[in-house]
Structures are given as structure tokens and as C-alpha cells.
Amino acid sequence: MKSKNITLIVLGIFFLLFPFIIRSEYYQHLVIIALMWVVIGSSWNLLAGYTGQVSFGHAIFFGVGAYTAGIFVTKLEISAWWGMLFGGFAAMLIALFVGWVCFRLRGPYFALATLAGSEIIRLVATNWESLTDGMVGILIIQSFRSKLPYYYIVLGLAAACIYAIHLVIKSKWGYYFVSIREDQDAAESLGINTTLYKNISLLISAFFAGSAGAFYMNYMAFIDPHVVFSLHYISIMAILVGIVGGVATIMGPAVGAFVMVGVQETFRSAFFGIAPRWISEAHALVFGLLVIFVIMFMANGIVGDWGKIRRVLLRSRPSA
């Protein structure tokens, strides 16, 4: 318990001082993106990892959050930063509808329904041009030129998200979520209103994903439906972050986010320019291989199987 607290304090100090240690804007940018993925991955993990409702459509909530922030500027002419709060609420509103429809289904059918949902909303955003400007996208003016404010805002959001999920999991709700994951019929017969608690889990999850989407709008200053409602870049990436880091662990998605953003960037930049250009085309392939590796050898992810990983590393040391 004590050593865990010390680790947390050291990590906290490191992240608070990070932009002063690493002055390169490029690396600061990568860490900002990774922290945003910490939020999306953690929110996915609450619903899929703890409550057992695997979502293939987290882009719905991310995109709705991003568009809420964008539309605040283009239509209401108020700051996109309001989206950090109201984008979350808008995502919750959509989540109510998604839950109403999709929670009639269980297991893989639920996953497929969320997948369909994200495609539907992408098409809606593409075609509802009067509201979203369609494929033209939304372009806003960034509030800050320095990376620093963005860094601290997303750091705060990530910390708040992890802490909130930690509190939820340690509460009665947490027991209920995990019971539903383990056996929905048993949970129901134990007096747990499974429909209600699945929706609560979805709403909390949607809020943080929406909030992360609003941050993305503020930070990148440009969105279009193919980016923020993307199956590949958002929904699947959220799942990868969760699986690689470790489902149903508090810190899993946080670790997964840094690993996945690291892998993605390494390949996108073709090993930071060292490798031939075509390598960057292969990053989807590498994602696939990584998932196969994780599922075969550490099904509980990096955090969930940390004990196992450490044993393997320690065993290989004397021979090396």
C-alpha cells in the first residue's frame, strides 16, 4: 500500500514537471495525445472492462463531445472550452438513446449494435450540413499558442477521470458493475437492476469520452466526421488501449494509452525517420500483431499480467 502511494506521488510530480523537463513541443504533443487517450481508454474500460459491455462505438461519444465544442463556436459563438463540460453532457444524452436501444442485446450483439451506432452517427454528421458543415469540417482558432495550457488541462482531465472511476469502482456501483459482467442473470436474481446499472456505467463512460472529444476540438482546432467518428482511429483504438493496458484495472488504460500512442507514432513517423517510408503504411498491421500477441501471451494486459511479465524479465536476466 505504502509503495503504491509513493509511486503515485512520484508519477504525479513527474507529470507536473514534465513540460519543463522535456521542452520539445513534438514530445509534449505526443504526451498530450497520450493523456487524451488515457481518458478515452479509461472511459471505455469502465463500460467494457468492469461492466462487461464491450463497446465498439466509443467514437459516438468522443465525436459528439468534439462536435458540441465545435458547434458552440460556429453556431453559438461561445468558447469551445464550454464543450469540456457540455460536450460530456451531450454525449450522455446520446448515451441514453444508445443504451435504450443497444442494452436490449447482450455480448457480441451489443458490440455489433454499438458499431452500427457509430457508423450511423458518422453518416448523420456527414450529411447534416446545416449543423456540422459536413465534410468541410469545423475549424476554430486555438486559444493558446503554447502547448503548456493544453498539457495541464488534459492532465487534469485524465487525473479526474482515473480518480472518478476509481471511486465508482470502490463503491456499491462498482460491485454491481462487476457482478453484471460476471453473470447478468445471477446479478438480476440478487436484486440488481441490471438495465439501470448498465446505463449508469454507460453514462459515466460517455461523459468522459465526450469530454475528451471536446478537448480534442480545442487542441487540434479542426475536426471532420471521418476523424472524430472514425471506427479505426477512435473506436478500435479505444479497445486496443484497454486491452493492451489491461481491462478491468484502474491504471491499465493509462499504461495502454502511452504504449499505443508510442507504437502508433513510431510507425507513423517510420521510426522517427530512420526506417524507409513504407513502414508507416504498415502501422495497422503492427496493431493487429500487437493485439494477437497480447491476447495470446498476456490476456490481462500489461497491468493485469504485470507479475507474469516481471517473472519472465527476471528469469531471462541471469542468462543474458
Partner 1 sequence: MPLLELKKLVKDFGGLKAVNEVSFQVEKGEILGLIGPNGSGKTTIFNCINNFYPITKGDVIFKGKSIKGLKPHKVCHLGIGRTFQVVKPLARMTVLENVTASAFCRFNTIREAQKEAVRILEFCNLDNSKEKLAKSLPIGSRKRLEIARALATRPDLILLDETAAGLNPSELDEAIDLIRRIRESGITILIVEHIMKLIMSISDRIHAINFGQTIAEGSPKEVANNPAVIEAYLGEEYARS
Cβ atoms of 253 and 35 closer than 8 Å:
no
By CB under 8 A, which span of 15-23, 122-130, 167-175, 210-218 interacts with partner 1?
A: 167-175
Per DSSP, the three-state class of 132 is helix
Check binding of 200 to partner 1 (CB under 8 A). Answer: no
**291-320 burial, b if ≥16 CB within 10 A, otherwise e?**
eeebeeebebbbbbbbeeeeeeeeeeeeee
Provide, rounded to whole angstroms, the least separation between the CB of residue 247 and partner 1.
11
By CB under 8 A, which span of 150-158, 180-188, 202-210, 271-279 interacts with partner 1?
A: 180-188
Check binding of 167 to partner 1 (CB under 8 A). Answer: no
Q: Position 118: which residue type?
A: S
Provide, rounded to whole angstroms, the least separation between the CB of residue 134 and partner 1.
43
Name the DSSP class of 233: I
Q: Which residue has the cell 484502474?
A: 250
Q: Is 193 left (phi over 0), alpha (psi -120 to 50) or beta?
A: beta
CA distances from 212 to 67, 110, 297 (A): 11, 23, 31
Provide, rounded to whole angstroms, the least separation between the CB of residue 301 and partner 1.
14
Check binding of 175 to partner 1 (CB under 8 A). Answer: yes
Check binding of 1 to partner 1 (CB under 8 A). Answer: no
Provide, rounded to whole angstroms, the least separation between the CB of residue 189 and partner 1.
5
Residue of 5, 189, 316, 319 interacting with partner 1 (CB under 8 A): 189
Residue of 64, 192, 204, 257 interacting with partner 1 (CB under 8 A): 192
SS3 content of the chain, % helix, strand, coil (to 5): 80, 0, 20
Strand partners, 223: 138
Check binding of 182 to partner 1 (CB under 8 A). Answer: yes
Judged by CB under 8 A, how many residues of this single chain contact partner 1?
19
Check binding of 308 to partner 1 (CB under 8 A). Answer: no
CA distances from 69 to 80, 140, 196 (A): 5, 10, 29
Q: Between residues 65 and 301, which has the closer beta carbon with respect to partner 1?
A: 301
Check binding of 193 to partner 1 (CB under 8 A). Answer: yes
Give the helix ranges, DSSP H, for 171-230.
Answer: 172-182, 184-189, 194-220, 225-228
Q: Between residues 191 and 276, which has the closer beta carbon with respect to partner 1?
A: 191
Q: Between residues 50 and 258, which has the closer beta carbon with respect to partner 1?
A: 50
Residue of 10, 97, 131, 183 interacting with partner 1 (CB under 8 A): 183
Write out the residues near partner 1 by the rule CB under 8 A: 170-172, 175-176, 178-179, 182-183, 185-194
